[in-house]
Structure 1
């Protein structure tokens, strides 16, 4: 079975996806560069939800596309931004949005890689995906996050005072940074995002972040996790912490990958929701 073992994508030798498997999950909308041969992804019904594509002004010539899932009907709801993996907005990210919307949230997944003009979920070669991801620089992505929260605050269905963010892999690092640079964010939950560049910036956190990491992650070392914990403590960020699942690999929440760990994924989801409730994003 293929296993995505690193936050920015596996090496070619890490997995081998058959053409038949790739074709099947491509038509289902999943990122074919990381699917498991025996994947059985969770699918959440969208009855009772409004699903739409938004175009968010962000100062660029072409506005930022975003996938939005929210409860149907009137009323305002808390908002959670969903920051994607390196594969863009594919079926897994959309389903995470559906799960959150079923719980009463407005879930917004910005397409941070839209400027490339290509569909990352359709690509099978990690070596070709990486340069596209690298083009999405820190300042650009952080600006897109701020544009998204500003847009959310202008919507009649959003609680402007209850905005959080969660992100997976590449999006985990986006989550840590959003808690540093976006004043509209109240809390963040980062799933196995790279830490090395963020450890020196721990004191910049404005709101609490919960990190969820795998003890068997081949791309994020135990030393980096411990260093971030120490940096959070030194900076007095008592509301932020990292929880490690000793037997989990990188991507343990991604139910379309061989790395999926149901026990860790379920526990992490519960911890995420509790973190948002505790910090006013509910």
Structure 2
């Protein structure tokens, strides 16, 4: 039962997943021990399919949910090493919103058509959190949307051609957004716009969490030297797992 609710620790959840190819794309697949019709599409942070992202995927599988992770860097290695951050920021500036959403749609198709999933949601962290909001507004098949500290700055990056607030208002299903109160990348005004967009919907419950004192990307283990970030991760992950199970294992 512990693996179902606890956040990935320094030791991590044992990696039981595998690297797979879907429609010509790399992906990381982690499946529950027993057959499941619930699934989650994972959209990584700037660190890509890193060791910690694999742990999140394996943790979802341990909770009974099939987890398929999008390779945001298209074959280039993911890494939790802060020394790689500058390179990863450069890669992030080259991402295209529309082509990225197209790739996610192909992965979602695969989950429904090939992996036996009937209810599939999407969860993303940082840059992946923004993509989760965009994809949630684009694809009405999604059973839920979870956006961990989504990177939606006050002034959009040049390659952010789609408006995250506009797409957030279109999300059809239940949505959960988790915001760090000391986010140095996303001003509180941006969070309020996203929250207002969620609350403007006439369908789909909305859950918004605020973690005072936590910084942007607080789930990243590299930032857990700050005890506030670690506490926010430890508190939020079990609630995210419960939300995912309630919306996909039905």
* TM-score (normalised: structure 1): 0.74
The answer as to 2:167 corresponding to 1:201 is yes
In 2, the alpha carbon distance for the partners of 1:211 and 1:280 equals 17
Cα pair 2:180 2:218 within 8 Å, conserved: yes
The one of 14, 18, 21 equivalent to 1:45 is: 14
Native 8 Å contact 1:203 1:237 kept in 2: no
Match of 2:213 among 247, 267, 279: 247
Residue 272 to residue 252, structure 1, CA distance change in 2 (3 Å): same
1:271 alignment partner in structure 2: 239
Instruction: Please tell me whether the aligned partners of residues 21 and 27 of structure 2 are also in contact (alpha carbons under 8 angstroms).
Output: yes
How far does the alpha carbon of each residue in 1:140-190 deviate from its partner, in whole angstroms, 9 at most, with x for none? 1111111101111122x532x210111111110111112111233110111
Q: Alignment partner for residue 39 of structure 2, among 79, 92, 95?
A: 79
Answering whether residue 90 of structure 2 is matched by residue 169 of structure 1, we say no
Q: Which residue in the other structure is 1:230 paired with? A: 196
1:118 equivalent to 2:76? Answer: yes
Q: Which 10-residue stretch deviates more, 252-261 or 204-213?
A: 252-261
Q: CA deviation at 1:249?
A: 1.2
Which residue is equivalent to 1:101? Answer: 61
Task: Give how far 1:264 is off.
Answer: 1.3
Please give the alpha-carbon distance, in whole angstroms, between the structure 1 residues aligned to 2:84 and 2:12: 25
Moved more, 174-183 or 199-208: 199-208
User: Which structure 2 segments of 5+ residues have no match?
Assistant: 1-8, 154-162
Match of 1:158 in 2: 116
CA shift, 1:125, in A, is 4.5
Contact 2:63–2:241 (CA under 8 A) maintained in structure 1? no
Give the root-mean-square deviation of aligned CA atoms.
Answer: 2.3
In 2: Cα distance, 1:183 partner to 1:236 partner: 14
Deviation at residue 118 of structure 1 after TM alignment: 3.3
Structure 1 residue ranges without an equivalent (≥5):
1-39, 58-62
Instruction: Indicate the structure (1 or 2) with the bigger Cα radius of gyration.
Output: 1
Q: Assess, with a 3 A threshold, how the Cα gap between structure 1 residues 178 and 206 changes in structure 2: closer, same or farther.
A: same
Q: Aligned partners of 1:99, 1:77: CA distance in 2, in Å? A: 16
1:92 aligns with 2:52: yes
Question: Distance between the aligned counterparts of 1:201 and 1:71, measured in 2?
Answer: 31
